[in-house]
Amino acid sequence: MKKKICLIHTGGTIGMIRSEKGYLPKENYLASALEAIEDLKNPSMPDFDLFEMCPLLDSSDMAVGDWNRIGEEIASRYHLYDGFVILHGTDTMAYTASALSFMLEGLDKPVILTGSQIPLCEIRSDGRDNLITSLLIAGEGKHKEVCLYFGGRLLRGNRATKMSADGLLAFDSPNCPRLAEAGISIRYLPVPKPPKCDTDSNFSLCTLEDVPIGVLKVFPGIRFPIFERLMTEKLKGIVLETFGAGNIPGEGDALLPIIERAFEAGSVITVCSQCPQGTVSLGTYKSSSPLKNAGAVSGFDMTTESCVAKLYYLFSKHYSKEEIKALMEENLRGELTK
Ligand code: ASP
């Protein structure tokens, strides 16, 4: 029997049109653009229904409420379709993919985010292949998790990151092998499946609360006290993007008391690396070992996108700060390697 895919259009370059102010999303346009792609009617394509979200967004305008709306669109049709393809802007696609990987608890169907760097209305658009291959992969259903397909690469959603602002191979997952590569044929690769969600074996949606989360990128000469109030009073979850394997300048003298006060106040500080590839290893250098004692947790090889989404998710589950600390270091959906 032919597979049935739910295609949800959220906005992004793929469905944008030219305007005097630059490319922008246009309501009710995508259906006609898809009608013009004859290959979508090829018998080897799965059947699909198109749903358009309102308003359509440039993904740089998306926030937690929009992730919830996408999650609700999927959840309300979960039992009607074999898989889902989400058309999305590239700028924050890796954040949405990460967020959905946590929100869609007990997911047992493929959810594939894709988009394009060049709109479908332009002659050299990469949207056509990204859409067709995503629909085929969703129909084949080999990976029943949140994935991101772009430029011939099928990636684990919560491992993906945007690597290029203008290249057509825009995404990769430097800390996780690709799930598939689409060349002459679609070649699936043997990547361990993400752990099963332990809260519920049935599918359910966990919507996220808009808790205050922040990302602080360490740089040479950073004056930590400038950020003290932000870290101790304003933010609940903080992603600290450190050098290399988790190193901070000044042996942490200025930062450690701030981390301690932030943790007392209920904030969880997760240490990530500024390097796209490799892992945080607290304690390898003298400049990173005090972070752990002060109460920070290791983000291991998580992307910043995934770390941000995981903090939203864990705070939305109302765990205690100790539980959140412990779960940040656990592999919940394949987002980290320990
Ligand atoms: N600004 C666009 C977006 O993220 C870029 C894109 O889709 O490629 O919606």
Give me the CATH number covering residue 62.
3.40.50.1170
Q: Is residue 167 situated within a structural domain? A: yes
Per the domain annotation, does 313 fall within a domain? yes
Q: State how many domains the chain has.
A: 2
Instruction: List the chain pLDDT tens, one digit each, 338 residues.
Output: 899 999 999 999 999 999 999 999 999 999 999 999 999 999 999 999 999 999 999 999 999 999 999 999 999 999 999 999 999 999 999 999 999 999 999 999 999 999 999 999 999 999 999 999 999 999 999 999 999 999 999 999 999 999 999 999 999 999 999 999 999 999 999 999 999 776 557 999 999 999 999 999 999 999 999 999 999 999 999 999 999 999 998 866 788 999 999 999 999 999 999 999 999 998 887 777 788 888 899 999 999 999 999 999 999 999 999 999 999 999 999 999 98
Residues 108 and 238 occupy one common structural domain: no
Q: Kindly state if the Cβ of 127 falls inside 6 Å of ligand 1.
A: no
Q: What is the pLDDT of residue 80?
A: 98
Inside any domain, residue 248: yes
Q: Which of 205, 222, 245 is the last residue of a domain?
A: 205
Q: Decide whether any atom of ligand 1 lies within 6 Å of the 91 Cβ.
A: yes
**Residue 31, burial from CB neighbour count under 10 angstroms (0-12, 13-18, 19+):** exposed
What single letter denotes the amino acid at residue 53? M
For residue 72, the CA-to-ligand 1 centroid distance in Å is: 22
Whether residues 164 and 284 share a domain: the answer is: no
12 & 124 share domain: yes
Whole-number pLDDT of residue 199: 57
Beta carbon of 260 within 6 Å of any ligand 1 atom:
no
CA of 3 to the centre of ligand 1 (A): 29
For the CA of 170, the closest atom of ligand 1 is: 8
Residues 258 and 304 in one domain: yes
Same domain for 219 and 113: no
Of 205, 234, 250, the one marking the end of a domain is 205
Give the separation between CA 172 and CA 164, rounded to whole angstroms: 9
Ligand 1 centroid to Cα of residue 88, in Å, is: 8
**Is the separation of the CB atoms in 3 and 47 below 8 Å?**
yes
Q: Say whether both 71 and 170 belong to one domain.
A: yes
Domain that holds residue 100: 4-205
Q: Is the CB of 246 under 6 A from ligand 1?
A: no
Whether the CB of 290 sits within 6 Å of ligand 1? no
Residue 256 maps to a domain? yes
Q: Which of 70, 91, 124, 163 has most ligand 1 atoms within 8 Å of CB, for mutation?
A: 91
Asked if the structure places residue 119 within a domain, the reply is yes
114 plus 253 within the same structural domain: no
- 194 and 257 share one domain: no
**pLDDT for the residue 198:** 63
- What amino acid is encoded at 118 in this protein? I
Distance 9 CA to ligand 1 centre (A): 13
Among residues 188, 205, 222, which one ends one of the domains? 205
* Cα angle 159-161-167, degrees, rounded to a multiple of 5: 140
In a domain, 74, yes or no: yes
Assess whether 77 and 181 both reside in one domain: yes
Q: 270, 292 in Cβ contact below 8 A?
A: no
Q: What is the pLDDT of residue 186?
A: 98
Task: Choose one of 10, 18, 56, 59 to mutate for the ligand 1 pocket test, by most ligand atoms within 8 angstroms of C-beta.
Answer: 59
Residues 125 and 223 in one domain: no
Q: How far is the CA of 90 from the centre of ligand 1 (A)?
A: 5
The answer to whether residues 242 and 186 belong to one domain is no
Residues 166, 59 within the same domain: yes
- 133 among known catalytic residues: no
As a whole number of angstroms, the distance between CA 125 and CA 121 comes to 7
Whichever domain contains 273, its CATH number is 3.40.50.40
Q: By C-alpha distance, which of 330, 256, 337, 270 is closest to 304?
A: 270
Closest residue to atom 7 of ligand 1, CA basis:
89
d(CA 24, CA 19): 7
Ligand 1: does its nearest atom lie under 6 Å from the Cβ of 117? yes
The answer to whether residue 98 sits within a structural domain is: yes
Q: Which atom of ligand 1 is nearest to the CA of 117?
A: 8
Instruction: For residue 182, report the distance from its CA to the centre of ligand 1, in Å.
Output: 23
Residue 335 is assigned to a structural domain of this protein: no
